[in-house]
C-alpha cells in the first residue's frame, strides 16, 4: 500500500475506534479534540513500519540523517517487509510507545510535568503524515512546522485517557500491516520465523498467492501496491476521515453536524 494511503487508513482507524458521539465503533471514546489530534498522530504512526524502506516518506524527513537511519533499520530488520512487518513489530511498537508515554520532564515554571516523549514523537509522526498526505507538498520544513504545531496542540488538547498515546501508535502501526496484508506482496507475519510453503502448495494458483514462495502471507484483495482497487478503496476512506474530522471539530465548538444534516 502507498504511503499516503497508509496515513489515511491510520486516521480512519482512529476516528472509527474513538467514535466521536457514536459515529464509529466506540471501543475507545475520547473528546472531539482528542479525535482530531489523534487522527493526525495515528496517520503518522501508520507510516512507521516503512522505516525499513530506503525511499519511504520517513527516509526523506531529514536530509542525509533520514536515509542513514532508515538504511540502518533496513539492514537490521532484513530489508523491506521483513522484521518491521511482522506481528512481533506490533509488540515492539507498543513497547516503544509505552516508554515514550512515560518520558516526562518537570518544568520549574509549571506544576504539570511536560510529556516530552509524547511531544517529540507526535511532532515527528504528524510531520510524516503531513508530507505523505500532501499537506506540505514537497516541503519538509513546512511538514515539520505542521508537526511542531500539531505536537503543541496535542500537549494542550490531548485526550484525558492516560493510555491514549499507546493505543494511537499501536493502532496506526497495526493498520499499516493490515493494509500491506491485503496486497500481493503480503507479510512475514511470524517473523523471524518465515516458513516456506511445500512445493505442491506453490503449484496451486490461488493458494500460492495466499502463502507465497517467499513465506509471506497475504489476502491480496487489493492486488499490487498502488493498484486501481487500492485507490478505489481510499475514496470512501478519505470521505470518512473528512467527515469524522469535520464532525469532531464542530463538536468541539458545540455544533452537532449530525443534527444539521438529518
Does 178 have pLDDT greater than 90? Answer: yes
State yes or no: pLDDT of 93 exceeds 60: yes
Percent of the chain with pLDDT over 70: 92
Q: Is the pLDDT of residue 160 over 80?
A: no
Model pLDDT for residues 13-39, shown as the tens digit of each residue: 999 998 654 455 667 888 888 888 889
The total number of structural domains in the chain stands at 1
Residues 6+ away with beta carbon under 8 Å from 254: none
Report long-range pairs for 187-190 (Cβ below 8 Å, ≥24 apart).
Answer: 187/81, 187/85, 187/86, 187/216, 187/217, 187/218, 188/81, 188/82, 188/85, 188/86, 188/215, 188/216, 188/217, 189/86, 189/87, 189/217, 190/86, 190/87
For 33-68, how does the pLDDT look when each residue is reduced to its tens digit (9 = 90+)?
888 888 989 999 999 998 887 777 777 777 666 777
User: Which domain covers residue 149, as residue numbers?
Assistant: 3-261
Q: How confident is the model at residue 70 (pLDDT cuts 50, 70, 90)?
A: confident
- pTM of the shown model: 0.90
Distance between CA atoms of 95 and 117, rounded to whole angstroms?
Answer: 13
Task: State the pLDDT at residue 135.
Answer: 84
- Going from the C-alpha of 185 to that of each of 47, 100, 162, the distances in angstroms are 17, 32, 37
Residue with cell 499499516: 176
Percent of the chain surpassing pLDDT 90:
43
pLDDT of residue 182: 95
Amino acid at each position: 500500500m502507498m504511503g499516503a494511503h497508509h496515513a489515511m487508513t491510520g486516521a480512519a482507524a482512529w476516528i472509527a475506534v474513538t467514535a466521536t458521539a457514536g459515529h464509529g465503533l466506540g471501543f475507545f471514546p475520547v473528546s472531539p479534540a482528542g479525535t482530531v489530534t489523534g487522527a493526525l498522530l495515528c496517520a503518522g504512526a501508520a507510516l512507521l513500519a516503512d522505516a525499513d524502506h530506503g525511499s519511504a516518506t520517513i527516509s526523506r524527513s531529514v536530509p542525509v540523517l533520514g536515509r542513514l537511519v532508515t538504511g540502518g533499520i533496513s539492514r537490521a530488520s532484513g530489508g523491506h517487509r521483513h522484521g518491521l512487518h511482522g506481528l512481533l513489530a506490533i509488540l515492539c511498537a507498543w513497547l516503544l510507545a509505552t516508554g515514550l508515554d512515560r518520558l516526562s520532564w518537570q518544568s520549574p515554571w509549571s506544576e504539570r510535568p511536560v510529556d516530552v516523549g509524547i511531544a517529540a514523537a507526535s511532532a515527528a509522526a504528524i510531520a510524516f503524515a503531513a508530507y505523505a498526505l500532501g499537506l506540505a507538498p514537497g516541503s519538509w520544513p513546512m511538514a515539520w512546522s505542521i508537526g511542531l504545531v500539531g505536537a503543541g496542540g496535542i500537549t494542550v488538547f490531548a485526550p484525558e485517557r492516560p493510555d491514549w498515546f499507546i493505543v494511537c501508535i499501536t493502532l496506526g502501526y497495526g493498520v499499516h500491516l493490515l493494509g500491506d496484508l491485503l496486497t500481493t506482496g503480503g507479510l512475514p507475519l511470524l517473523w523471524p520465523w518465515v516458513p516456506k510453503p511445500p512445493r505442491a502448495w506453490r503449484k496451486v494458483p490461488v493458494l500460492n498467492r495466499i502463502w507465497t514462495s517467499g513465506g509471506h502471507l497475504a489476502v491480496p484483495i487489493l492486488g499490487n501496491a498502488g493498484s486501481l482497487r487500492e485507490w478505489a478503496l481510499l475514496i470512501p476512506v478519505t470521505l470518512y476521515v473528512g467527515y469524522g474530522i469535520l464532525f469532531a471539530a464542530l463538536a468541539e465548538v458545540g455544533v452537532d453536524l449530525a443534527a444539521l444534516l438529518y
